[in-house]
Amino acid sequence: MSRVIGVLTSGGDAPGMNAAIRAVTRSALSRGYEVYGIRDGYKGLIDGDFVKLDRTSVSDILARGGTFLGSARVPEFKDEEVQNIAIKQMQTVGMDSLVVIGGDGTYRGAYSLIKKGICVVGMPGTIDNDCPGTEYTIGFHTALNTIVEAVDKLRDTSASHHRCSVVEVMGNHCGDLALYSAICCGAEVAIIPEDDFREEEALAKILHLDRVKKGRHAIIIATEKLIDVYALADKITKMSTFTGRATVLGHIQRGGVPVPEDRVLATRLGDKAVELLAENVSGHCVGIVNDKIVSEDIIEAIDKNKMYKSDLLKVFERIA
Ligand code: ATP
């Protein structure tokens, strides 16, 4: 069966999204399908902002961060009338299926189209690693790398000035960026949504370290939206011999050249997404579990919790 596939990136951008678009495009072209890039996520689907992709349209993007198609948050896509407009736009170019690259919100958008009979496959693209149906999302490893580089630099200066760095990282409702970076950087404390350890406990641990170990510096890494890192740094300054300093890494975590793990993952997942469409499988999201590329029903995946590695937190707590 011949297919006309649309590909879009939606939600927060993530390094490796370009590699994912490239893989979807080339895998589809190699099967003789037509491919359209859709600009700015669901916005482009509503506006009919499509660009025909050939092999060379996706040349020289593998190593670039961001997404050359653009991404957007489009709250009005929850409206059924708006979804119907998007479907009409697809019909104008004969587009019969979609690959959507984004987070769980993007998957919900996909599900609303699946319910209307559109063939859709979801790919996990977000630095937050909070997507269901996969152990790792496209962009997570690059963001982790960026955080580790930044915290290593903070450590150099903290150690010279007897400071305690309190670093806020992204992750939304997922603590993986904080926990993995805490392990990589030898942090003393990780504050993550999956654990009850919060500001008071963090402060108590730093005061204890200050009294007992008299270390030259300390590092706390916290997932965004959980604590006020500036307030905690102030308390540390007032209550210990450390000078507390807060750093919010912010959007720098979203950018940068994708690391090899993200390029390989994006390529494997993109090829799998097209394979599913070729097999007439719709409504699935693709992922990686135990280094195997897998897929499962999008809505069943959304209903499950994100895979959380509680053993990793225990390891961190023993080593920190
Ligand atoms: P990130 O994890 O980076 O935030 P995300 O895909 O979860 O990525 P969202 O902003 O939650 O980002 O969702 C992206 C887009 O998906 C929304 O702007 C909207 O267009 C669409 N979307 C989200 N939820 C729904 C829904 N319930 N129904 C239809 N469309 C939705």
Q: How do residues 256-272 score in pLDDT, each as one tens digit?
A: 999 999 999 999 999 99
- Which among 79, 108, 251 is the best mutation to test ligand 1's pocket, defined by most ligand atoms within 8 Å of the CB? 108
For residues 43 and 75, what is the distance between their CA atoms, to the nearest angstrom? Answer: 10
Structure tokens at 151: 């915290």
Q: What radius of gyration, in Å, describes the C-alpha atoms of the chain?
A: 22
Does the beta carbon of 108 lie inside 6 Å of ligand 1? Answer: yes
Res 15: pLDDT: 98
Beta bridge partners of 288: 293
**Known catalytic membership, residue 228:** no
> What DSSP character marks residue 171?
-
Kindly give, in sequence order, each residue whose CB lies less than 8 Å from that of residue 141, ignoring residues fewer than 6 positions away: 259, 261, 262, 265
Res 243: pLDDT: 93
Does the beta carbon of 104 lie inside 6 Å of ligand 1? Answer: yes
Res 303: pLDDT: 86
Q: Which helix (H) or strand (E) holds 83?
A: helix 80-92
Q: In what order do the strands lie in the sheet with 97-102?
A: 50-52, 34-38, 4-9, 97-102, 119-124, 284-289, 292-297
| Cα angle for residues 182, 212, 316 (degrees, 5° grid) | 20
- Which among 77, 83, 142 is the best mutation to test ligand 1's pocket, defined by most ligand atoms within 8 Å of the CB? 77
Residues of the chain predicted below pLDDT 50? none
Res 77: pLDDT: 97
Active-site residue, from 13, 96, 104, 128? 128
- Which among 67, 73, 82, 303 is the best mutation to test ligand 1's pocket, defined by most ligand atoms within 8 Å of the CB? 73
Does the beta carbon of 135 lie inside 6 Å of ligand 1? Answer: no
Helical H runs in 164-259? Answer: 176-185, 199-212, 229-239
- Closest listed residue to residue 275, CA positions, set 288, 262, 294: 294
Span from the CA of 72 to the centroid of ligand 1 (angstroms): 9
Res 232: pLDDT: 96
Does the beta carbon of 124 lie inside 6 Å of ligand 1? Answer: no
Does the beta carbon of 210 lie inside 6 Å of ligand 1? Answer: no
Span from the CA of 21 to the centroid of ligand 1 (angstroms): 18
Which is it for strands 284-289 and 292-297: parallel, antiparallel or unpaired? antiparallel
Which is it for strands 34-38 and 50-52: parallel, antiparallel or unpaired? antiparallel
Three-state DSSP class for residue 91:
helix
Does the beta carbon of 173 lie inside 6 Å of ligand 1? Answer: no
Span from the CA of 318 to the centroid of ligand 1 (angstroms): 37
Closest atom of ligand 1 relative to the 73 alpha carbon: 18
Span from the CA of 157 to the centroid of ligand 1 (angstroms): 39
Nearest CA to ligand 1 atom 18: 73
Nearest CA to ligand 1 atom 10: 11
Span from the CA of 263 to the centroid of ligand 1 (angstroms): 23
